[in-house]
Chains A and B, each alone.
Chain A
Amino acid sequence: MTPRLQRLGETVEKVLGLKPVERIGELTLEVGAADYRSAAQTLRDHPELRFDQLIDLCGVDYSTYGDRPWEKPRYAAVLHLMSIPYNWRLRLRTFCPDEAFPLLPSVIELWPNVNWYEREAFDLFGIVFEGHPDLRRILTDYGFIGHPFRKDFPMSGHVEMRYDPEQKRVVYQPVTIEPREITPRVVREDDYGGKRG
Chain B
Amino acid sequence: MAEIRNYTVNFGPQHPAAHGVLRLVLELDGEVVQRADPHIGLLHRATEKLAEQRIWIQSLPYMDRLDYISMMCSEHAFVMSMEKLLGIEVPIRAKYIRVMFDEITRVLNHLLGLATLGLDLGAMTVFLYCFREREDLLDCYEAVSGARMHAAYYRPGGVYRDLPDTMPQYQAQHTRTARTLAKMNDNRQGSLLDFLDDFCARFPKCVDDYETLLTENRIWKQRTVGVGVVSPERAIALGFTGPMLRGSGVEWDLRKKQPYAAYDQVDFDVAVGVNGDTYDRYLVRIEEMRQSNRIIRQCIDWLRKNPGPVITGDHKVAPPSRVEMKANMEELIHHFKLFSEGMHVPEGEAYAAVEHPKGEFGVYFISDGANMPYRMKLRSPAFCHLSAMDEMSRGHMLADAVAIISTLDIVFGDIDR
Contacts and interface: CB of A to CB of B under 8 A. Distances in A.
Given A139-B44, A149-B49, A24 B383 contact: no
Q: How large is the interface on B (under 10, 10 to 19, 20 to 34, 35 or more residues)?
A: 35 or more
Contact of A24 (B40, B84, B258, B388): B84
Interface in B115-132: none
A14 B251 CA distance: 30
Interface stretch (B93-101, B219-227, B358-366): B358-366
Contacts of A84: 236, 250, 252
Q: How large is the interface on A (under 10, 10 to 19, 20 to 34, 35 or more residues)?
A: 35 or more
Interface string B87-121: 10000000000000000000000000000000000
A65 B239 contact: no
Contacts of B48: 149
A23 B251 CA distance: 29
B368 interface: yes
A80 B55 contact: no
Nearest to B372: A185
Interface stretch (A35-43, A99-107, A109-117): A109-117
B207 interface: no
Interface in B224-278: 236-239, 241, 250, 252, 257-258
Nearest to A189: B369
A26 B350 contact: yes
Given A23-B348, A54-B239, A80-B362, A185 B53 contact: yes
Interface in B291-317: 316
Contacts of A191: none
A87 interface: yes
Nearest to A115: B387
A89 B258 CA distance: 10
Given A26-B351, A113-B388, A139-B40, A55 B371 contact: no
B381 to A, nearest CB: 10
Contact of A52 (B236, B258, B316, B371): B236
Contacts of B351: 26, 56, 80, 89, 91
Contact of B344 (A25, A138, A141, A188): A188
Interface in B26-73: 40-41, 44, 46, 48-50, 53-55
B347 interface: yes
Contacts of A188: 344, 369
Contacts of B374: 65-66
A188 B343 CA distance: 11
B238 A112 contact: yes
Contact of B54 (A24, A54, A183, A192): A183
Interface string B382-402: 011011100000000000000
Contact of B384 (A25, A116, A140, A141): A116
Interface string A20-34: 000111101000000
Interface in A104-147: 111-113, 115-116, 137-141
Nearest to A183: B55
Contacts of A91: 349, 351
Given A84-B236, A139-B40, A56 B370 contact: no
B188 interface: no
Contacts of B353: 55
A169 interface: no
A86 to B, nearest CB: 11
A96 interface: no
B22 to A, nearest CB: 13
Q: Which of A26, A28, A140 has the most CB of B within 10 A?
A: A26
A181 B55 CA distance: 11
A183 B371 contact: yes
Nearest to B86: A196
Contacts of A155: 49-50, 53
A8 to B, nearest CB: 14
B387 A113 contact: yes
A60 interface: yes
B383 A66 contact: no
Given A53-B236, A84-B250, A112-B237, A186 B362 contact: no
Nearest to B48: A149
Contact of B366 (A60, A67, A138, A149): A60
B186 interface: no
B39 to A, nearest CB: 8
Given A23-B349, A84-B236, A140-B41, A187 B369 contact: yes
A90 to B, nearest CB: 10
Interface of B: 40-41, 44, 46, 48-50, 53-55, 84-85, 87, 236-239, 241, 250, 252, 257-258, 316, 340-342, 344, 346-351, 353, 360, 362, 364, 366, 368-372, 374-375, 377, 379, 383-384, 386-388, 416-417
22 contacts: A23-B348, A24-B87, A26-B350, A55-B239, A55-B353, A55-B360, A55-B362, A61-B375, A66-B370, A78-B364, A80-B351, A84-B250, A87-B257, A89-B351, A91-B349, A111-B237, A113-B388, A149-B46, A155-B50, A186-B370, A187-B368, A192-B344
